[in-house]
Amino acid sequence: MKTHETSSPIVAPPQPPSEPKADGTTLMQRAVASCVYLFERLMPDPFVIVILLTVLTVLTVLTVLTVLTVLTVLTVLTALAAFGFAPKATPEIILGGWYKGIFGIFTFAFQMVLVLVTGYALADAPVIKAGLLRVSRLAVGPCSAVVLVFTVGAIATFLNWGFGLVVGAMLSKQVARQVHVDFAWLVAAAYSSWVLWAFTGMSSSIALSIASPGNPLNIVEQHTHLTVPLAHTVFSSWNLLTGLAAMILIPAIFILMRPAAKDIIAAKADALAAEEAVESAEPARQRDSLADRLDRSRLCALVFVVAGAAYLVMQWVRHGISLDINTVIFIFLLAGLCLHGSPKRYVTAVAQAAKVTGPMLLQYPFYGGIMGIMAATGLAEVVADAYIHIASRTTLPFLSYLASGLITLFIPSGGGHWAVQGPFTIPAAMNLGASMSGTSMAIAAGEMAGSLLQPFWAIPVVAIAGVGVQRVLGFTLVIFLTAGSFLGFVYLLIVPAFAGL
């Protein structure tokens, strides 16, 4: 089959969807091709989206608060009782919240960058890359390729979302070298497997925060003086079954929406091979001095790894095994250094990883600014309360899921997202007698669904894979509509009946 010509080193430019003919293509294939084509033609660069979202946030604040003011005047005590703390937006508050948000997110942003960098560096270790190469040979056709990429990505993501983010993208490139398949379709499967981390992974920001005593984002503890262990969230039976069902449903959907032969835009195997050769090329040794030997010394790496592992063991023996974001980063730092074998190799891998963090470093402050506007003006409170005031014990998880998906479009950060929505949702769960673990995980699941449309976290994946984010999100839109509906069903009917604490 002939691949479209392109000036891109990896993939070809977008092509209009084929006209409906009696050519064996299914209705779903034609619909998906149209979605992908529209995304490619209409969606701007992700940085432009950040700017547009910032403007939209400001306009929404002004519009909503004007409506609230009118309602307060017209309904007097009814509106005051309904909204109570009706926020006020002024240019000073909006700009002040924006500025504070930009610089207030730096610590968390750096932690997220380190999760990605340490995960990338670990995935770039020779042992891991060799393993991915062996695994990629299991793909013998498009269907087995997409199932393989999704499954491996989901398993890696369960361990650590940064690791899974990179493994899925790297495996996509390996598989694309061996199987003629639409590259963006394959990368979309890798990204879809990654978003499962929000509610099924051990590094879920929300699950870890409410399980950690004294954590500033443990909103459950702040209101109830209790923590919610992972056994009630990530490892609960209903959550594990939901994750397992999603791992079956999503690959099946990808198989159904596989692009028709004439619509395939495949990766160029020679370009991928050349890129792989450049990345794996060993730098020439200039000299063999003492400094060079220390840089390549396995002993130096071993000393650091042993010391770090000893500290973790001592802490876990004394205080019990617990995971937080810093611990996850440290574990992957030690694992990466151990598998690379020398400081020099690890530094090289980290330098390579840093190349894909540029968009994150640039855009995170802008998302922090949006977060600051929503927090300072109370816009997030308005969005959340609009659902909470019509909720009951059984519907709160579902409505929290919907609100979470909406907020994710503005705040694509699990921790930052939880900081905005959690303070209003957990008290509502307490008052309504709803499950706090189920409601918390509903917010995490809503974040997962919203991330299928939000380009922020797709940026590292497409940067590693070398494919356009617009075409990838054209495929994930279908997953958003189908898997998102499935999760809505779970949090409307299943979670209220089976969730515990």
What was the pLDDT predicted at 427? 84
Q: Does the pLDDT at position 501 exceed 60?
A: yes
If one counts every other C-beta atom within 10 angstroms of the C-beta of residue 269, the result is 14
Least confident of 83-92, 248-257, 324-333: 83-92
Q: What is the mean pLDDT of residues 126-137?
A: 91
- The answer to whether residue 382 sits within a structural domain is yes
pLDDT of residue 391: 86
Q: Above 90 in pLDDT, residue 314?
A: yes
Q: Residue 107 and residue 344: Cα distance in Å, rounded? A: 27
Under 8 Å between Cβ of 149 and 186: yes
Q: pLDDT at residue 40 above 70?
A: no
Listed range (78-82, 156-160, 304-308, 372-376) with the worst mean pLDDT: 78-82
| Domain residue limits at 109 | 27-66+87-278+356-498
What pLDDT, on a 0 to 100 scale, did the predictor assign at position 10?
58
In the predicted structure, residue 67 carries a pLDDT above the cut 80: no
Confidence of residue 75 (pLDDT cuts 50, 70, 90): very low
Q: Who's near 168: CB < 8 A, 6+ residues apart? A: 149, 152, 153, 156, 157, 189, 190, 191, 193, 194, 461
Residue 325 forms part of a structural domain: no
pLDDT mean over 79-91: 44
Q: How confident is the model at residue 4 (pLDDT cuts 50, 70, 90)?
A: very low
Instruction: Kindly tell me if the per-residue pLDDT of 284 is higher than 80.
Output: no
Helix axes 237-256, 142-159, angle to 10 degrees: 150
- Alpha carbons within 13 angstroms on the beta-carbon side of residue 190 total 34
Residue 78 in domain: no
Structure tokens, 461: 């994946």
pLDDT of residue 169: 86
Model pLDDT for residues 458-498, shown as the tens digit of each residue:
777 777 777 777 788 889 999 999 999 999 999 999 999 88
**Helices and strands in the chain: count of H runs, count of E runs:** 26, 0
In a domain, 296, yes or no: no
H/E stretch holding 372: helix 358-377
Does residue 228 lie in a domain region? Answer: yes
Structure tokens at 157: 């993501």
Runs of H (alpha helix) within 286-357 = 290-295, 298-319, 325-340, 343-354
Is 324 among the domain residues?
A: no
Measure the CA–CA gap between 200 and 129, rounded to whole angstroms: 25
Q: How far apart are CA 409 and CA 109, in angstroms?
A: 17
Structure confidence at residue 274 (pLDDT): 57
* Total-model pTM: 0.74
Q: Count of domains in the chain?
A: 1
pLDDT of residue 358: 72
Per DSSP, the three-state class of 266 is strand
Single-letter code of the amino acid located at 325: I
What distance in Å separates the CA atoms of residue 370 and residue 379, rounded to the nearest whole number?
Answer: 10
- Looking at per-residue pLDDT, the higher value among 237 and 53 belongs to 237
Place of tokens 């669904």: 449
Q: Among residues of the chain, what percentage have pLDDT more than 90?
A: 23
pLDDT digits (tens, 9 = 90+) for 416-448: 678 778 877 888 888 888 999 999 999 999 988
Q: How far is CA 95 from the centre of its chain?
A: 28
Which residues have C-beta within 8 Å of that of residue 200, sequence separation ≥ 6? 157, 158, 234, 239, 240, 242, 243, 246
Average pLDDT, the chain: 77
CB atoms within 10 A of CB 309: 15
Establish if 310 belongs to a structural domain. no
Is residue 73 very low, low, confident or very high in pLDDT (cuts 50, 70, 90)? very low
**Pick the residue with more confidence: 41 or 241?**
241
Surface-to-core class of residue 341, CB atoms within 10 Å of its CB (0-12 exposed, 13-18 middle, 19+ buried): middle
3-class secondary structure, 169: helix
Nearest to 168 by CA among 186, 143, 183: 186
Of 61-70, 149-158, 312-321, the least confident: 61-70
Q: Following DSSP, what letter does each residue of 50-84 receive, concatenated?
A: HHHHHHHHHHHHHHHHHHHHHHHHHHTHHHHHHHS
Higher pLDDT among residues 59 and 180, named by residue = 180
Average pLDDT for 157-166: 83
Q: Helices in 76-141 by DSSP H: which ranges? A: 77-83, 91-104, 106-123, 126-136
Q: Whose CA is closest to 411, among 53, 46, 52?
A: 53
- Residue that is written with structure tokens 């990654």 in the block: 194
Q: What's the token pair of residue 112?
A: 């997220």
Task: Judge whether 13 lies within some domain.
Answer: no
| C-alpha–C-alpha distance, residues 140 and 130, integer Å | 18
Name the residue with higher pLDDT: 208 or 479.
479
At 394-409, the pLDDT tens digits run 999 999 999 888 878 7
Of residues 279 and 315, which shows the higher confidence score? 315
Judge whether residue 84 has pLDDT over 50: no
